[in-house]
Structure 1
Amino acid sequence: MRERVQEALEKVRPFLQRDGGDVELVGVDETSGIVKVKLKGACGG
């Protein structure tokens, strides 16, 4: 599951980076399906 989440983040990462931000995968709980991410930067608008 972690790999699938990472692939999805890679698809949206360029759009966040164009706006001065980024996203980092913090963790994936396989049991509950909870995904934790950290948003970085100063995404505006």
Structure 2
Amino acid sequence: MTTEEKIKDVLKSQVSPALASHGGFCTFVKFDEPTATAYVAMEGACGSCPFALETLRMMVEETVVSAIPEVKAVERA
């Protein structure tokens, strides 16, 4: 499984259910191998939420980085 596939899987199975409970979701945009950074789009209620950046850092990034060692950071696209 590629790193991109792993990221998509974690977003779908672990991140999306939590965000969906608040009317939001995030989608995979790209993975930059040289910087080990995954880029995601915060959408739905998360797209306009003033706390979206905090959610990205505290929930999305923490979940993805802990599940996939080759990912070092998650940024908003």
TM-score, normalised via structure 1 length? 0.78
List per-residue Cα deviations over 1:1-45 (Å, max 9, x = no partner): 101111111111011111100101010012221110000122478
Distance 1:25 1:7 in 2: 10
Structure 2 partner of 1:28: 31
Corresponding letter in the other structure for 1:7: D
Which portions of structure 1, spanning 4 or more consecutive aligned residues, are displaced by more than 2 angstroms?
none
Structure 1 regions of 5+ residues with no counterpart?
Answer: none
Q: Which has the higher strand share?
A: 1
Matches within 5 A, 1:1-45: 1-10=3-12, 11-43=14-46
TM-score, normalised via structure 2 length? 0.51
How many residues are paired up? 45
3-state SS, counterpart of residue 26 of structure 1: strand
